[in-house]
Chains A and B, each alone.
Chain A
């Protein structure tokens, strides 16, 4: 190739690429949606349906590149066991990455607890994730604005701007935040924002074989999540902090905090 030809084709290529990039920029569906006040992401968890298999936890870690073996996770599943004499035991071994494979209850330094089957009054599983609060405590405290809320309600972290102070981790009443073991910045569930803003589903909801998890638009009355929130008895976690969570639970037990 002659030098002139090379330059020419490079110029054509660069301008073409720039054009197509800017075209993409304008039509980015995420931005169109974010600018739309008719959209407010919400999440529905049906605790009656959750069996504690942990598929969601694994799917989330793979999708969002959180090292599988790291002892932090964007979403996890808790197991609750209430005994007939009123005791409440909970555990979440490795966030239930591999589900609950034993009847023994992991009490960390206190060892593994065994509860006889006939002692158990009630047992259930509760998946947890970032609530993408309407009044997010984490956004309030971030000194540099690295944690922010999008117009459609998702709470995200800017990995290039976070200074890693941990104030947001302290400020979140739900313990969903942690330091990413590789990136060394604050991390948490994003509702798979990269997927949903392109019309996709969240990795955890997609992975759940029982339909216990579901993302939806709270502003759309025909959306199944919005319908459930409007027409069923749903609960939210730790109302008393005034954060106004957007993850709603069907069948939320009083013991879950």
Chain B
């Protein structure tokens, strides 16, 4: 069996070597990258533009974006036919290739996020470090934590007012620099597709911009959903005193987390954030529509095949799942006045689904027609894996990718509590 044969069905005239080569993992790749970028942009809204109302979710978004970061790389590696050679991209960067810059952009971005987190948490790190050091008897867990914090502190222990002020400045600067880099990281994921001239559906300069907008949308939506879920868990844990789920309770004692307070914070943050979600959704939708209308209006030779794919083969996926359930429905849900936390979270969940469908329709839809425009290819996602390939490029592989950031976040949150509230005015 050759690569692609397991999930491609050909119809009419298709060239012998044509298969859906870029399958689910390449759908996951821009999706996960978009989530990283979007979550970061959300956190920057507070740090750079000082949107005070987003204070709590901003900190969460920053840590979550860091947890998502390694996962942006994962689908690419899972997709490679020679995954162990992935490092070649860094060893022999070939700069005419859009993919080859990925390593560099990605690393730059990772450094910025890591540095920003360090500055945001420096005070906490030092304080915890000192607290743990003063303890006369430490449990094994505490000893490990102490070691981690010692490493994390990088030997800096100054938390005087001046030093903290410098921290704040650094955070602001990094968040500011981070926005264009995050947009670039994702816009350029769009460029990888947009620059494939052999593909009639991808070949548009709008692709990077469309990708950036939907990235921000998906990142914000993910933050809302996961913030909502995590806060629910915290509320639940706070009520029952399950402190192992509450790192800040471990640090500051259970009095630090109060159920009613948690509830009001959750309420406020989710509702505020959903407003920003609406703004970015409008932008993303306008651009996508513009692209489609433009293609129909100019109707170059490839339009015949594209129209078939858009209005017939993929009609349900594009107009019902992506635009209907993934865009219109949550849009209305968010617009109806008197929004509740639950409604906002549900709408965000739909938005997340809509963006995933958008990625799917771009990546898979772009390969749905033959280069000759005379035939079509249908993609069937491998559900039950029967070898490594159908595992990696099937449902199981996609779910692995989706689950990973949450696992990372769980451990990250133990060390750098994402829900920690601070009483200092800025930060």
- Of A141, A169, A185, the most chain B CB neighbours within 10 A belong to A141
B100 & A144 in contact (Cβ 8 Å cutoff): yes
CB neighbours of B98 from chain A (8 A): 141
- Given that A71-B2, A164-B80, A170-B198 are known contacts, is A108 also in contact with B11, CB under 8 Å in the complex? yes
Known: A107-B12, A144-B85, A172-B198. 10 other contacts (CB 8 A): A70-B2, A88-B374, A92-B13, A108-B11, A108-B12, A141-B97, A143-B89, A164-B80, A173-B197, A173-B198
Residues B78-93 near A (CB distance < 8 A):
79-83, 85-86, 88-89, 91-93
B308 to chain A, nearest CB (A): 14
Nearest-neighbor residue (CB-CB) of A70 within chain B: B2
B141 to chain A, nearest CB (A): 41
CB neighbours of A242 from chain B (8 A): 197
User: Which of B18, B80, B97 is close to A175, meaning CB atoms less than 8 Å apart?
Assistant: B18
- Of B17, B85, B375, the most chain A CB neighbours within 10 A belong to B17
In the complex, A171 has a CB within 8 A of chain B: yes
B100 & A109 in contact (Cβ 8 Å cutoff): no
A142 & B97 in contact (Cβ 8 Å cutoff): yes
- Given that A171-B196, A184-B81 are known contacts, is A144 also in contact with B1, CB under 8 Å in the complex? no
CB neighbours of A173 from chain B (8 A): 197-198, 371
Residues A154-183 near B (CB distance < 8 A):
161-167, 169-179, 181
- Given that A140-B96, A143-B100, A166-B81 are known contacts, is A176 also in contact with B21, CB under 8 Å in the complex? no
Grouping DSSP codes into helix (H, G, I), strand (E, B) and loop, the A interface class, with mixed when no group exceeds half, is loop
CB neighbours of B16 from chain A (8 A): 71-73, 76, 92, 94-95
A243 to chain B, nearest CB (A): 9
B105 to chain A, nearest CB (A): 13
CB neighbours of B83 from chain A (8 A): 163
B89 & A178 in contact (Cβ 8 Å cutoff): no
Complexed CA–CA distance, A164 and B370 (Å): 21
Q: Which A residues fall within an 8 A CB radius of B?
A: 70-73, 76, 88-92, 94-95, 107-110, 128, 137, 139-146, 161-167, 169-179, 181, 184-185, 241-242, 257
B132 to chain A, nearest CB (A): 44
CB neighbours of A143 from chain B (8 A): 89, 93-94, 97, 99-100, 102
B356 to chain A, nearest CB (A): 21
A92 & B15 in contact (Cβ 8 Å cutoff): yes
CB neighbours of A108 from chain B (8 A): 9-14, 375
Q: Which B residues fall within an 8 A CB radius of A?
A: 1-5, 9-19, 21-22, 76, 79-83, 85-86, 88-89, 91-94, 96-100, 102, 192, 195-199, 370-375, 378
- Of B16, B85, B196, B372, the most chain A CB neighbours within 10 A belong to B16
A5 to chain B, nearest CB (A): 45
B17 & A144 in contact (Cβ 8 Å cutoff): no
CB neighbours of A167 from chain B (8 A): 97, 99, 192
- Given that A94-B16, A175-B18 are known contacts, is A161 also in contact with B88, CB under 8 Å in the complex? yes
CB neighbours of B15 from chain A (8 A): 76, 92, 128, 175
B198 & A241 in contact (Cβ 8 Å cutoff): yes
30 A-B residue contacts at CB 8 Å? A71-B2, A71-B16, A73-B17, A90-B372, A110-B12, A140-B96, A141-B195, A142-B94, A143-B93, A143-B94, A143-B97, A162-B81, A162-B82, A163-B80, A163-B82, A163-B83, A163-B86, A169-B17, A169-B21, A170-B21, A171-B198, A173-B197, A173-B198, A174-B371, A175-B372, A178-B3, A178-B19, A179-B21, A181-B3, A242-B197
- Given that A71-B5, A163-B81, A184-B81 are known contacts, is A144 also in contact with B196, CB under 8 Å in the complex? no
A163 & B9 in contact (Cβ 8 Å cutoff): no
CB neighbours of A177 from chain B (8 A): 17
- Of A162, A164, A241, A242, the most chain B CB neighbours within 10 A belong to A164
